Structure formats: C-alpha cells, structure tokens
C-alpha cells in the first residue's frame, strides 16, 4: 500500500455537550489521520458521535481540546468568521436530507456557495453548469427541489458541495433517505469524485453497501474510535 500524505490530522480530540448542568462526553481522545484522496466510511451505532466528529472535521462545531488540522491548517484556532471563510472554500457538505433551499432552483442551489466568491455571473454559470453536468442533471437546472426525486435532490446537493472545488467532502448518511437504486447512483457518483476529481470523502453511514464503496472503514463506539482499521480495496 502506497503511503499518502494525511490531509486530515486529528490529535487527542475531546468533545462533550452540556445538557443542563450535566456534561455528556461524546468523543474521547480521538486521534485519526485521513490520507489525501481517501474515501473513508465512518460507522457505528446511533448516538456514538459520528455526526459530531464529522462536524468537527468540517469546522462547524468547536472541540473541547485537541487539534484538527486540515491541509496543514489547525482549524481549532480559527475565529468564527475565519472558520466560515475557510469552510466556504475548503469543505463541501452532503446531508442525509439533502437540505436544498426549496425556493431556489437546482441551478440556484448549486450556485449558492459561489455567491461568497469573487466570481462573475458568467464564471459562476460555467462552474454550476459543469457541476450539474457531472452529477448528470443538466436537464433539470430550472427545476425546484419539490420537482425532483430524492436521488436527484441529493445529486444537486453533491453539486453544491463540490462546486467551489474543495479538497474535502463530508457526507452524513448521504444514502440514509434513499431507495437502493438511488443510493447506488449516489455512491457511484461519490466514487467518481474521488477517482476523477481527486476529492477526499469522509462519509458517515449505517449502510454496509455504502461502506463497501469506501477504501477504509472506521468504527466509532461510544465516542471511542476502534483501533482496527479495515481496508476494503
């Protein structure tokens, strides 16, 4: 197995939530490296802290202690605004429930992250059309989310996630709400993003079929990352 540089480096990460005056530990001493251009699946029972870990990698939640370095940047040291700016160019998100803005068309949804860049209208149009072509939805650009199937909506969401060309995509149960055929389409698409566009994908999933697609599967149980690393390539 060739050694790749780690794009994500997590060291001694702790995270807990407060509920009232009770402190609930969620993640305990997580240390994890994820190589560049990796497709990693994160599995584990419900409530084990998968989403929390994903959110911390993506910079939308704060660690209690430990460090999260992405492409050499320790994102735990960034300010709120610094993080927002960082997210807009370094991370793409894919959610279980697609989370498109219902009043915007497929095109406009995919364009949304580009509004924060300095791109001209014309350049944005080119990027969005390209992204929608990759997810095979060129003929649905003017459709609203309610006019699309679940699988199609998730493909729009994926286009939105990589339209800014981030190195890393995080996906929280991306096939959790889809039928088997649509799920396969989404997984194939994610695989292509890794192989053809060189993305690194970290995917939380319950679905063994989804995990099969990944190069690496890590298990999280009660906030502790299992040591054994399964490689399924």
Ligand X SMILES: Nc1ncnc2c1ncn2[C@@H]1O[C@H](COP(=O)(O)OP(=O)(O)O)[C@@H](O)[C@H]1O
Partner that binds at residue 99, options Mg ion, other proteins, ligand X, none, CB closer than 5 to 8 Å by kind:
other proteins
Q: Is 205 in the site for ligand X (CB under 6 A)?
A: no
Angle made by CA atoms 157, 158, 159, in degrees to the nearest 5:
90
- 9 CB-near residues (< 8 Å, 6+ apart): 32, 33, 67, 68, 69, 70
Smallest distance, Å, CB 19 to ligand X?
A: 5
Distance (Å, whole) CA 23 – CA 16: 7
DSSP 183: H
Q: Is 52 in the site for ligand X (CB under 6 A)?
A: yes
Binding test (CB under 5 A) with Mg ion, winner from 48, 51, 105, 200: 51
What's phi and psi for 212, nearest 5 deg? Answer: -55, -35
Of 51 and 154, nearer to Mg ion (C-beta) is 51
Q: Is 58 in the site for other proteins (CB under 8 A)?
A: yes
E strand segments, the chain: 6-19, 22-35, 39-43, 65-70, 73-74, 91-94, 168-172, 200-204, 216-221, 224-225, 230-231
Choose the binding region for ligand X from 43-51, 110-118, 181-189, 224-232 (rule: CB under 6 A).
Answer: 43-51
Smallest distance, Å, CB 18 to ligand X?
A: 7
Q: Is 122 in the site for ligand X (CB under 6 A)?
A: no
Contacts with other proteins in 74-113 (CB under 8 A)?
81, 84-85, 87-89, 93, 95-97, 99, 101-104, 108, 111-113
Residues that bind ligand X (CB under 6 A): 17, 19, 24, 26, 44, 46-52
Residues that bind other proteins (CB under 8 A): 52, 55, 58, 60-61, 81, 84-85, 87-89, 93, 95-97, 99, 101-104, 108, 111-113, 115-116, 121, 160
């Amino acid at each position: 197995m060739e050694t790749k540089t780690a794009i994500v480096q997590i060291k001694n990460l702790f995270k807990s939530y407060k509920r009232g005056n009770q402190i609930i530990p969620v993640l305990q001493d997580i240390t994890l490296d994820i190589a560049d251009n990796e497709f990693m699946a994160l599995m584990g029972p419900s409530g084990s802290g998968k989403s929390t870990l994903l959110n911390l990698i993506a910079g939308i939640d704060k660690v209690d202690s430990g460090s999260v370095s992405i492409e050499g940047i320790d994102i735990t040291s960034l300010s709120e605004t610094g993080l927002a700016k960082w997210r807009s160019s370094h991370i793409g998100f894919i959610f279980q429930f697609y989370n498109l803005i219902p009043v915007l068309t497929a095109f406009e949804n995919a364009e949304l992250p580009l509004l924060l860049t300095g791109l001209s209208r014309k350049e944005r149009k080119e990027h969005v059309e390209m992204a929608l072509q990759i997810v095979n939805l060129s003929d649905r650009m003017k459709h609203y989310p309610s006019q699309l199937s679940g699988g199609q909506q998730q493909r729009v969401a994926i286009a939105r996630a990589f339209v800014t060309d981030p190195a890393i995509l995080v996906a929280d149960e991306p096939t959790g709400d889809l039928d088997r055929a649509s799920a396969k389409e989404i997984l194939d698409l994610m695989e292509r993003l890794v192989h053809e566009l060189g993305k690194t994908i970290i995917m939380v999933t319950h679905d063994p079929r989804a995990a099969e697609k990944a190069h690496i599967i890590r298990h999280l149980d009660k906030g502790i990352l299992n040591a054994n690393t399964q490689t399924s390539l």
